[in-house]
């Protein structure tokens, strides 16, 4: 088990060792992540639903069309996201266009499907950048500590004291909108704030004897950071990656609403809700309805999946229901009565 974590012994309390004896027998057969997957499906039905929604988002996003291998006409979306057909302008849902048409005469279904790609891109890359930034900062502050940490943390303190939306809006007003800028701004600013979690964890992990041992045999700092500390915070990173995705997608939607999001014709769900969707919401309610439903569903799925992962990965929450019991007063009274009758 420990081998799969990059050779570093697992400190007590980290979720690498399986909890049930049943899993213990097959522990050598697969990676610890597979164990987590199995437990997710077995124990967390809501989390599984959430995971399925996330998977659906990814598949839709990837196969919306195959333009990334040079086949823009093949894919899930029946039409292009910016393909105008004036005959279906503001058209109600029909067989050819199941979700209706928008004010420019574009097929709503195709735009929703392509919107999945935009959301996936923002979620994955925004959250990925955030995790990369927070890991780097957290590892360095946690491991070096002292003056370096003291100074860097003042900057982190200052940064997180701004409301996120204010930071986004101010920066977007300065550098202008666009997919890359948006992802960078979202990722870096939430990554700086998120560095506190990994930092606290590293403070605790670096006290382990094996870190001391590695230093004693003269391992370079980079090796200690990457091979001994990093593998131990991976479960926490997976958590922030999954939960962060929802925040990124939501932030983009909020920015689009305020007019600082992605420029048209990029089919972002947030943009669809806020621009033309609001103007035509009385004549063509489907323009407002579908993107909102898609957005809510995806955020819900990501959160439920992330929560289930936390239940499974967080070392402090280990041990299922059994430790607490969770028996209602009624049942408890019944048990007490039975015990009294017996005696």
Partner 1 sequence: MRAYAIRRILLGIPTLIIVTILVFLAVRLIPGNVIELMVAEMAQESGMGEELTVDYLRAQLGLDEPVYTQYFKFVGNLFRGDFGQSLWTGRDILPDIISRYPISIELGLIAIIISLSISWPVGVYSAIRQDTIIDYAGRTFAIGMLAMPNFWLATMVVVYPSIWFNWTPPIQYIPFVEDPIGNLGMFIIPGFLMGTGMSGGSMRFLRTMFLEVLRQDYIRTAWAKGLRERTIILKHALRNASIPLITSFGPMVLMLFGGSVIMEQIFCIPGLGRFFIDALNTRDYPVIQVMNLISAGSFIVVTITIDLSYAWLDPRITYR
Using the minimum distance from each CB to partner 1, give the nearer residue, 217 or 282.
282
Tell whether residue 200 is a contact of partner 1 (CB under 8 A): no
Using the minimum distance from each CB to partner 1, give the nearer residue, 28 or 166.
166
Binding residue for partner 1, selected from 109, 284, 288, 309, defined by CB under 8 A: 288
Using the minimum distance from each CB to partner 1, give the nearer residue, 14 or 171.
171
Counting residues that bind partner 1 (by CB under 8 A) gives 63
- Which backbone phi and psi does 219 adopt, to 5 degrees? -65, 140
Burial of 7 (0-12, 13-18, 19+ CB in 10 A): exposed
Binding residue for partner 1, selected from 299, 309, 312, 313, defined by CB under 8 A: 299
SS3 content of the chain, % helix, strand, coil (to 5): 70, 0, 30
Tell whether residue 270 is a contact of partner 1 (CB under 8 A): yes
Using the minimum distance from each CB to partner 1, give the nearer residue, 69 or 174.
174
167-186 as b/e: b if 16+ CB within 10 A: bbbebbeeeebebeebbbbb
SS (H, E, C) 156-200: HHHHHCCCHHHHHHHHHHHHCCCHHHHHHHHHHHHHHHHCHHHHH
Tell whether residue 279 is a contact of partner 1 (CB under 8 A): no
Site for partner 1 in 145-164 (CB under 8 A): 154-155, 157-159, 161-164
Candidates 20-28, 84-92, 195-203, 270-278; binding stretch for partner 1 (CB under 8 A): 270-278
Site for partner 1 in 171-190 (CB under 8 A): 171, 173-174
Q: Residue 39: name the closest of 338, 317, 301 by CA.
A: 317
Widest pairwise Cα distance in the chain: 83
**How wide is the angle at C-alpha 175 spanned by C-alphas 188 and 244, nearest 5°?**
25
Residues that bind partner 1 (CB under 8 A): 43-46, 154-155, 157-159, 161-166, 169-171, 173-174, 246, 250, 253-254, 257-260, 270, 273-274, 278, 281-282, 285, 288, 292, 295-300, 303-304, 307, 310-311, 314, 316-321, 323-329, 332
């Amino acid at each position: 088990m420990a081998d799969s974590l990059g050779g570093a012994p697992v400190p007590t309390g980290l979720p690498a060792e399986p909890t049930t004896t049943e899993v213990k027998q097959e522990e050598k057969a697969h990676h610890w992540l597979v164990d987590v997957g199995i437990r997710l499906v077995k124990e967390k039905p809501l989390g599984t639903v959430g995971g399925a929604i996330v998977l659906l988002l990814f598949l839709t996003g990837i196969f919306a069309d195959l333009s990334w291998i040079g086949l823009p006409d093949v894919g899930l979306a029946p039409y292009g996201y910016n393909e105008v057909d004036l005959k279906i302008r503001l058209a109600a849902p029909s067989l050819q266009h199941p979700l209706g048409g928008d004010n420019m005469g574009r097929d709503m279904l195709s735009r929703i499907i392509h919107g999945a790609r935009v959301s996936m891109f923002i979620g994955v890359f925004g959250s990925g950048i955030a995790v990369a930034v927070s890991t780097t900062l957290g590892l360095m502050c946690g491991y070096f500590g002292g003056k370096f940490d003291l100074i860097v943390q003042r900057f982190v303190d200052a940064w997180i004291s701004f409301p996120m939306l204010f930071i986004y809006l101010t920066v977007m007003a300065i550098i202008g909108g666009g997919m890359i800028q948006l992802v960078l701004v979202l990722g870096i600013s939430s990554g700086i704030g998120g560095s506190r979690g990994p930092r606290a964890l590293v403070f605790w992990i670096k006290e382990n004897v094996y870190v001391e041992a590695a230093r004693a045999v003269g391992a370079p700092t980079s090796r200690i950071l990457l091979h001994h500390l990093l593998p131990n915070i991976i479960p926490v990173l997976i958590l922030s990656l999954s939960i962060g995705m929802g925040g990124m997608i939501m932030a983009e939607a909020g920015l689009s609403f305020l007019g600082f999001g992605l420029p048209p014709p990029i089919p972002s769900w947030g943009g669809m809700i806020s621009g033309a969707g609001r103007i035509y919401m009385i004549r063509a309610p489907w323009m407002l309805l579908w993107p909102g439903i898609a957005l809510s569903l995806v955020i819900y799925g990501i959160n439920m999946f992330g929560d289930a992962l936390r239940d499974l990965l967080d070392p402090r929450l280990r041990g299922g229901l059994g430790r607490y019991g969770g028996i209602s007063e009624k049942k408890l009274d019944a048990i007490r009565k039975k015990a009294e009758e017996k005696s």
